Structure 1
Amino acid sequence: PRVLLLGHHDTVWPLGTLARWPFSADGDVATGPGCFDMKAGLVQTFHALAALDSFDGVAVLVTGDEEIGSPTSADLIVESASGVDATLVTEPSSEGALKIARKGTRQYILRTTGRAAHAGLEPHNGVNAGVELAHQIVAVSDIDLPADTTLTPTVSAAGTTSNTVPGAASVYIDVRSFDEARFDTVEEQLEALLPQLPGASLELEHGPRRPPMPPSSSQTLFALATHVASDLGLPPLDGVAVGGASDGNLTASAGISTLDGLGAVGGNAHAEGEWVDLSAMGDRTALLHGMVQRILAGEAHL
């Protein structure tokens, strides 16, 4: 294949969300869990494909674990992109703008271990891993960060029952940067954390990671998108660098020309009220279709 269309069907929303927040459309606005990130992008992908005279030269990969860092699909993504001229990612746009660069990500789990004890009979015999975790979350939040780098403690948990001194606790840590070297600076500080309570211990577990997607990986494809949009009579396109990562980071790091954000126009990704502008879906589909046609015809100068 000459071009890979890349997306994912998983969302951040837990099972049962549709029961309280079903998909709905009112005029040009659709809402529902995952509609923006990235169900609408998949709809646009398949309609763009349907308008092609032939599928020859086109590969499509829709994964199911992107929102958790692609732990099982990363190798398949890189393998699928191997040898193609371009990867077009139909993740949602940034207020209509295409995503020409993305921060990389590293995920960690910081685990604290204490000693469980009965909270009423002998709490003094315990070492509270939850309290230790609280100290560590503050310490993590105070880490000196390099420029354009973020560090966010996210999901945390401690203990097993309400009447037991927690013997174990954990917090997920999300680190993002445009510069791969800056990750190492942050990681050194995470590795240097020390327990604050006598008898407590720490363990830093390394999780999924995606390298940054540099602007150079999208330069040629963004130029192509600009030409296609102009030929279609669409408004001029903007390109932005964003903090969120995607599977496009993986293809870009493998040396494949990659353009992201070709999916829906809308907002509130990963949040209540996630929405899609239905009136923009036709133009976005036409843009994707036009880009695929040009790439297959060898007009993209890749």
Structure 2
Amino acid sequence: MLETLRRYTLLESPTGDARRLAALAEALEADAARAGLHTAREAHPTGDHLIWTLPARDVTGPPLLFLSHYDTVWPVGTLAEMPWSVTGDVVRGPGVYDTKAGLVALLTAISQLQGPHPAVRVIVVADEEIGSPTAGDLVRSEAAKSSAVLGLEPPHPGGDLKTGRRGSTRARIAVTGVEAHAALDPDAGASAIDELVDQLIRVRALVSARPVLLNTGTIAGGGRTNVVAGRAHADLGLRFTDPADEEAVLGALRALDPIRPKASVTTELLSHRPTWQPGPAGAALLDRIRVIAAGAGQTLNGHPADGAADTNTTGSLGHPTVDGLAPWGGGAHARTEWVSATGLAARTTLLAAILTDLV
């Protein structure tokens, strides 16, 4: 398993790099086929989503759906600064924890199946790290046909599973102003930058009384100091714990109107993952997995997480969903990223037990 993880890690796969993603996809599909899975793809210019199917063996009913991804946040060349290494239980490298180790564990568990098991569907998304803007329909469609959704994102520290997630939305506020000479005729113009600043103050006030996380991640616009800026935009990251807050804030963003008569303001949702609150379907699924884990000599608990993933989509729709089934480790999206070799073995054992006992 460590050698397989090494192969995947050395195939750097940043979101949006279709050529690099294709190289890793070929390796993943070859291993999936060897494990007995039928492979297919949903093609997209920025990276194909991988769809794997394992027919049932002596078990009837809907399939289990596993959700994972093979893109990472790390640009090509990161291996030079974060090389693959194994020191005791600590395995390092870009993407080992989030979430290539999860793919290794699942494929190994499937390859070891011998007894009866339900049908299995696996969706491996190519753009999860930017909110899965092209995968939402695929995820929703597959979840509607499945008995349970099992996410292969990293777990809580120590290995506990995830039973809910903050809603996560990336939104762009774009402003169009009127260009003019900044000294000779400034009143003929309307500064898109000034308008954007005022709109951002509005948005900050909008969320200040709510338990909403707001991060202004990117601001761009204008061109010259002697020209009134004609265009500007800001990309926002918003996190929600309550669907009502989510609805209110996103509705207000869509309704933003310009302060300056000559300016125009538009809001676009770049990606949207709805709030997934814990519910009875997820709690029942967690209880079943805890029993299965105990039978394998493992102790598991679960609680909600702050980060977002494709399980936001399935959990928010009420489908029985649990996430965090990848091996434990730490440092997601950080230079300290690592995954536990012991955790890789333990999660493989757990996944094999789930595949045969979660019927």
TM over 0.5: yes
Match of 1:270 among 328, 333, 348: 333
Q: Which of 283, 286, 307 is matched with 1:219 structurally?
A: 283
1:127, 1:21 → 2: CA distance? 47
Kept in 2: contact 1:140–1:153 (CA 8 A):
no
Deviates more, 1:166-175 or 1:154-163: 154-163
CA distance in 1, matches of 2:85, 2:300: 29
Aligned-residue offset at 1:71: 1.9
The 3-state SS of whatever aligns with 1:157 is strand
> Is 2:156 the counterpart of 1:94?
yes
Residue in 2 that maps onto 1:84: 146
Shift of 1:142: 2.8
Provide the alpha-carbon RMSD of the alignment.
2.7
Q: Does 1:253 align with 2:306?
A: no
Letter in 2 for 1:171: A
Taking the TM superposition and a 5 Å limit, the aligned residue runs for 1:1-302 are 1-53=62-114, 57-95=119-157, 96-116=159-179, 127-145=190-208, 147-160=210-223, 165-191=228-254, 193-195=256-258, 199-216=262-279, 217-234=281-298, 236-295=299-358, 298=359
CA distance in 2, matches of 1:165, 1:267: 47
Gap change, CA 1:56 and 1:129, over 3 Å in 2: same
Q: Is contact 1:141–1:153 with CA below 8 Å preserved after alignment? A: no
- Closer, same or farther: CA 293–118 of 1 in aligned 2, 3 Å: farther
How far has the Cα of 1:145 moved from its partner?
4.6
**Alpha-carbon distance change, 30 to 89 in structure 1, aligned in 2, over 3 angstroms:** same
Question: Which one-letter code corresponds to 2:288 in the other structure?
Answer: L
Distance in 2, matches of 1:17 and 1:122, equals: 49
Offset of residue 175 of structure 1: 2.2
Q: Deviations over 1:266-285 (max 9, x none)?
A: 22222232221222111122
Which deviates the most, 69-78 or 25-34?
25-34
Aligned length: 295
- In the superposition, the TM-score normalised over structure 1's length comes to 0.85
Aligned mates of 1:198, 1:263 — CA distance in 2: 52
Secondary structure class of the residue paired with 1:221: helix
- Over 3 Å counting, the alpha-carbon distance change for 1:193 and 1:24 in structure 2 is same
Q: Describe the shift of the 1:134–1:27 C-alpha distance in structure 2 as closer, same or farther (beyond 3 A).
A: farther
Contact 2:256 2:266 in 1 (8 A): no
Corresponding letter in the other structure for 2:294: S
TM superposition shift of 1:109: 0.7
Give the CA deviation at 1:163.
7.5
Residue ranges of structure 1 left out of the alignment (5+ in a row): none
* Correspondence for 2:22: none
Q: Which amino acid aligns with 1:220?
A: A
Q: Secondary structure of 2:307's partner?
A: coil
* Structure 2: distance between partners of 1:14 and 1:282: 28
1:187 offset after TM fit, Å?
2.5
The structure-2 alpha-carbon separation of the partners of 1:146 and 1:123, relative to structure 1 and needing over 3 Å to count, comes to closer
Give me the whole-angstrom Cα distance separating, in 2, the residues matched to 1:122 and 1:38: 55
Contact 2:186 2:228 in 1 (8 A): yes
Paired AA for residue 223 in structure 1: D
Higher-RCO chain (CA-CA 8 Å, sequence separation at least 6): 1
